[in-house]
A and B are shown apart, each in its own frame.
Chain A
């Protein structure tokens, strides 16, 4: 018995809604040594979380471990009874969930939940457990470690909750901790602090870990070994250095390639530089208008920017900085409270309902979640046909021809025409979503986090498509994202937003210009690099971190 965890030929079955049984994990084997952190990496649906959960003998409802063995510290979790598994959970293997915000019970205090493991397994008296929890809070560099436990989950930030969930996992002194995408829901600036805290605690305790993620750069910082999963099978496994520098499997290479900094490429040649969209001192927000003329919650405070014809503007910032609100305001979905929107030389009415048909047609918006933006009851054909009839009055054969052409433009096979959105993959749905905007023949497309719900490889393909369409159709994009690498790949200029304000306008770093504003510097330096030593070598000004990472 040399390895802490030995997984051999693990198979998991899932029952689909129609009652069919599908094998989602098809014979996975790997080991985790004492004190070693192994990363499971792969796209969504690759089965990485399913595999990680089998370490606790758990399969999500509808799934069943159908074969193989998962030995954790000598015990086969597959064979154990549910009672025996419960004894292992929390004491030998523990779990850090993807979304700590959802994994904390809203009706109980944080401390109660952090020390619950010691209570369930009768590990130590409550007072001792509390003292230990406070120690862990301190080790995870949480603010006010002595009193933070008395709060309720909704009273602390997402980054803090994620660290608190790590304390919850570590309280029972486990031999191995499962991290299930623990930083995916966090902003990059917060992610660094959380990753650092995790790494320090795990190293100090010599605790082994299984780190589930889709982000190679994050994994590179924390894992000793990487196991690449796709379609429920192990594609490749090796040490972190080996995978990063000398990947053998084509899929791993594809993952790595998606990370390479892609230059914007030569900006399209524009004969005369003419602004297509100018925004002057826009103010927008939610709630009733106060006596000072501002809305109750002000999401965008006096932002001005210009988009030139045929060029792309990126807007980045952490969640809640007002970037999506800005897009909704430009599109007229949320009328402005102040400021002007000038499109192609004409000032637009604040509300979309007051804009002309032509003005609406020339500016289209594409939303983040294709799942919710596409009507699930309509076929793809109907979805794309709607703007064709609405804006161009097209019917019959002409419309049919145009639908085929649009599908071809977004590189979808004509066979998807009669399908419904639910029958398409995430990337395909986003293409349909985009084709619908293209159908209007717009001059400007507002892209609101359109790649955020997609896997790295798929997102890279969508970005490629966007660039190609721009070359062909002379479009302009406003590209909103929290992911700097995506924005850098497609935009000529980047606006950095923080707390509703435009902080700075920069030219992507590949062009050689560095950001000046301290927040932009912090943001740009927080993007994880593939280099495994990046996190340890990263130095951040504690003053800056304190000023901009309250959340």
Chain B
């Protein structure tokens, strides 16, 4: 049986690898389609045609796109992300610090949102139809419907402008104590928790409700099992697959979807870096940031699928 699990996991990993190639292809050619010629932009309006042509040759811009793609992809695989057009620094150096900041924000948010979401989702499912369940449902739907810039701006208005409790901007590099940490992270984390929890709560509730309706849960009830035992021993293990998937989907948003939150709070994360890169038409940087988002998403989804495979007793 273990052989089957291994082959399933391996085939899942293979699919991930293939997806990665396709995604990088898409990222490369999507950024190619951005308007404007890089050499003209770099040299400015006043450049002579000879200078532009010279730069194009130097940057290999005159080669066919496929060759450039292969060169770029090969660089990615060996860890060479290229050089920034805007300030001639290696992109790896530019990204490194920012990426850690984004990971920090994502990590802190996950630390809060996952337990909160799972608890709310599971308890709402257990008390299905009760006032509590309805309140949770209404609130989560409400939170899903409110756009995050609305939540973020309201938070800034309330806590930074009127109450003056928290700084409006989050400079993660100025953290020296726990209080600093709380002050810097409070608003972005709360905003992101709002955004990602809602989906997790809904999915967890749905998955647990579905298993609670099964005959084996009724059987457990008729064995005299307590509510807690029914949920923990019988419903949850069978709802694990969908829940892990919902969590992975929501968390992947923390890597790629934080653009608005990082911009509003001026948080020095990777999404903010990408926004700046778009402003300066720094193609290699945009490509690298996009690839990081895609790879993060792929890793999370693959992990969730592998967990679902491992938690399926039929494959044991």
Q: Which residues of A contact B (CB under 8 A)?
A: 53, 56, 58, 60-61, 85-91, 94-95, 97, 99, 102-108, 116-117, 120-121, 152, 154, 168
- Considering only CB atoms, which chain B residue lies closest to A88 in the complex? B224
B215-A120 in contact (CB<8A): no
- Annotate B233-253 by CB proximity to A: 1 below 8 A, 0 otherwise: 110011000000000000000
Q: Tell whether B219 is near chain A: CB-to-CB under 8 Å.
A: yes
- Known pairs A99-B215, A107-B238, A120-B223; list 17 more (Cβ under 8 Å): A58-B222, A86-B224, A87-B224, A88-B224, A89-B223, A90-B223, A95-B219, A95-B223, A102-B215, A102-B216, A103-B219, A104-B219, A106-B313, A108-B234, A117-B224, A120-B224, A120-B229
B216-A152 in contact (CB<8A): no
Q: Tell whether B111 is near chain A: CB-to-CB under 8 Å.
A: no
Contacting residues, chain B, for A103 (C-beta < 8 A): 215-216, 218-219
Q: Within the complex, what minimum Cβ distance (angstroms) separates B272 from chain A?
A: 43
Query: Majority SS of interface residues in chain B?
Result: helix
- Considering only CB atoms, which chain A residue lies closest to B236 in the complex? A107
- Considering only CB atoms, which chain A residue lies closest to B237 in the complex? A107
Which single member of B216, B224, B314 contacts A121 (CB below 8 Å)?
A: B224
| Residues of chain B from 205 to 237 with CB closer than 8 A to chain A in the complex | 213-216, 218-226, 229, 233-234, 237
Q: Tell whether B316 is near chain A: CB-to-CB under 8 Å.
A: yes
Contacting residues, chain B, for A60 (C-beta < 8 A): 218
Contacting residues, chain B, for A97 (C-beta < 8 A): 215, 218-219
A105-B222 in contact (CB<8A): no
- Can you report 17 A-B residue pairs in the complex whose CB atoms are below 8 A from each other? A60-B218, A85-B224, A89-B223, A95-B222, A102-B216, A103-B216, A103-B219, A106-B216, A107-B237, A116-B220, A116-B225, A117-B223, A120-B226, A152-B313, A154-B313, A154-B314, A168-B223
B224-A107 in contact (CB<8A): no
Provide the bound-state CA to CA distance between A102 and B216, in Å: 6
- Considering only CB atoms, which chain B residue lies closest to A112 in the complex? B233
Which single member of A53, A91, A94, A120 contacts B225 (CB below 8 Å)?
A: A120
Contacting residues, chain B, for A89 (C-beta < 8 A): 221-224
Provide the bound-state CA to CA distance between A168 and B220, in Å: 11
Report the 9 A-B pairs with minimum CB-CB distance, sorted nearest first.
A89-B224, A102-B215, A107-B237, A90-B224, A103-B219, A86-B224, A95-B222, A105-B216, A90-B223
Interface size class of B (residues with CB under 8 A): 20 to 34
B224-A104 in contact (CB<8A): no
A108-B237 in contact (CB<8A): yes
Provide the bound-state CA to CA distance between A86 and B222, in Å: 8
Contacting residues, chain A, for B313 (C-beta < 8 A): 106-108, 152, 154
A58-B221 in contact (CB<8A): yes
A94-B216 in contact (CB<8A): no
Contacting residues, chain A, for B316 (C-beta < 8 A): 152
Contacting residues, chain A, for B238 (C-beta < 8 A): 105-107
- Considering only CB atoms, which chain B residue lies closest to A154 in the complex? B314
Provide the bound-state CA to CA distance between A103 and B225, in Å: 14
Contacting residues, chain A, for B237 (C-beta < 8 A): 105, 107-108
Q: Within the complex, what minimum Cβ distance (angstroms) separates B8 from chain A?
A: 16
Highest count of chain B CB atoms <10 Å: which of A56, A104, A105, A152 = A105
Q: Within the complex, what minimum Cβ distance (angstroms) separates B112 from chain A?
A: 29
Q: Which residues of B contact A (CB under 8 A)?
A: 213-216, 218-226, 229, 233-234, 237-238, 311, 313-314, 316
- Considering only CB atoms, which chain A residue lies closest to B223 in the complex? A90
B215-A86 in contact (CB<8A): no
A56-B215 in contact (CB<8A): no
A-B contact count (CB 8 A): 74
Provide the bound-state CA to CA distance between A90 and B311, in Å: 29
* Given the contacts A120-B229, A152-B313, A154-B314, A104 and B222 also touching, CB distance less than 8 Å: no
- Considering only CB atoms, which chain B residue lies closest to A95 in the complex? B222
- Considering only CB atoms, which chain A residue lies closest to B217 in the complex? A105
B234-A86 in contact (CB<8A): no
Contacting residues, chain B, for A154 (C-beta < 8 A): 313-314
- Considering only CB atoms, which chain B residue lies closest to A155 in the complex? B314
- Considering only CB atoms, which chain A residue lies closest to B215 in the complex? A102
Contacting residues, chain A, for B222 (C-beta < 8 A): 53, 56, 58, 89-90, 94-95
Contacting residues, chain A, for B229 (C-beta < 8 A): 120
- Considering only CB atoms, which chain B residue lies closest to A121 in the complex? B224
Q: Within the complex, what minimum Cβ distance (angstroms) separates B160 from chain A?
A: 48
Provide the bound-state CA to CA distance between A97 and B238, in Å: 20
- Considering only CB atoms, which chain B residue lies closest to A117 in the complex? B223
Contacting residues, chain B, for A88 (C-beta < 8 A): 224
Provide the bound-state CA to CA distance between A58 and B218, in Å: 10
Provide the bound-state CA to CA distance between A91 and B82, in Å: 71
Contacting residues, chain B, for A61 (C-beta < 8 A): 213
- Considering only CB atoms, which chain A residue lies closest to B219 in the complex? A103
Q: Within the complex, what minimum Cβ distance (angstroms) separates B213 from chain A?
A: 8
Provide the bound-state CA to CA distance between A154 and B224, in Å: 24
Q: Within the complex, what minimum Cβ distance (angstroms) separates B126 from chain A?
A: 13
Contacting residues, chain B, for A87 (C-beta < 8 A): 224
Q: Within the complex, what minimum Cβ distance (angstroms) separates B223 from chain A?
A: 4
Contacting residues, chain A, for B213 (C-beta < 8 A): 61
Contacting residues, chain B, for A107 (C-beta < 8 A): 237-238, 311, 313
- Considering only CB atoms, which chain A residue lies closest to B239 in the complex? A107
* Given the contacts A106-B238, A107-B313, A108-B233, A116 and B223 also touching, CB distance less than 8 Å: yes
Provide the bound-state CA to CA distance between A436 and B225, in Å: 49
Contacting residues, chain B, for A152 (C-beta < 8 A): 313-314, 316
Q: Within the complex, what minimum Cβ distance (angstroms) separates B242 from chain A?
A: 13
Provide the bound-state CA to CA distance between A403 and B226, in Å: 56
Q: Within the complex, what minimum Cβ distance (angstroms) separates A163 from chain B?
A: 15
- Considering only CB atoms, which chain A residue lies closest to B221 in the complex? A58
Q: Within the complex, what minimum Cβ distance (angstroms) separates A105 from chain B?
A: 4
A86-B314 in contact (CB<8A): no
* Given the contacts A97-B215, A152-B314, A152-B316, A105 and B220 also touching, CB distance less than 8 Å: yes
Provide the bound-state CA to CA distance between A61 and B218, in Å: 10
- Considering only CB atoms, which chain B residue lies closest to A106 in the complex? B313
Q: Within the complex, what minimum Cβ distance (angstroms) separates A420 from chain B?
A: 25
- Considering only CB atoms, which chain A residue lies closest to B214 in the complex? A102
Contacting residues, chain A, for B220 (C-beta < 8 A): 105, 116
Q: Within the complex, what minimum Cβ distance (angstroms) separates A309 from chain B?
A: 46
Provide the bound-state CA to CA distance between A60 and B213, in Å: 10
Contacting residues, chain A, for B219 (C-beta < 8 A): 95, 97, 103-105
Provide the bound-state CA to CA distance between A85 and B313, in Å: 32
Which single member of A53, A95, A104, A117 contacts B216 (CB below 8 Å)?
A: A104
Q: Within the complex, what minimum Cβ distance (angstroms) separates A61 from chain B?
A: 8
Provide the bound-state CA to CA distance between A154 and B214, in Å: 16
Contacting residues, chain B, for A121 (C-beta < 8 A): 224
Contacting residues, chain B, for A117 (C-beta < 8 A): 223-224
Q: Within the complex, what minimum Cβ distance (angstroms) separates A168 from chain B?
A: 8
Provide the bound-state CA to CA distance between A89 and B222, in Å: 6
* Given the contacts A88-B224, A90-B223, A95-B219, A105 and B314 also touching, CB distance less than 8 Å: no
Provide the bound-state CA to CA distance between A105 and B218, in Å: 11
Q: Within the complex, what minimum Cβ distance (angstroms) separates A56 from chain B?
A: 6
- Considering only CB atoms, which chain B residue lies closest to A98 in the complex? B215
Q: Within the complex, what minimum Cβ distance (angstroms) separates B222 from chain A?
A: 4
Provide the bound-state CA to CA distance between A104 and B215, in Å: 8
- Considering only CB atoms, which chain A residue lies closest to B314 in the complex? A154
Provide the bound-state CA to CA distance between A121 and B313, in Å: 26
Q: Within the complex, what minimum Cβ distance (angstroms) separates B130 from chain A?
A: 13
Provide the bound-state CA to CA distance between A106 and B229, in Å: 16
Provide the bound-state CA to CA distance between A541 and B273, in Å: 80
A105-B224 in contact (CB<8A): no
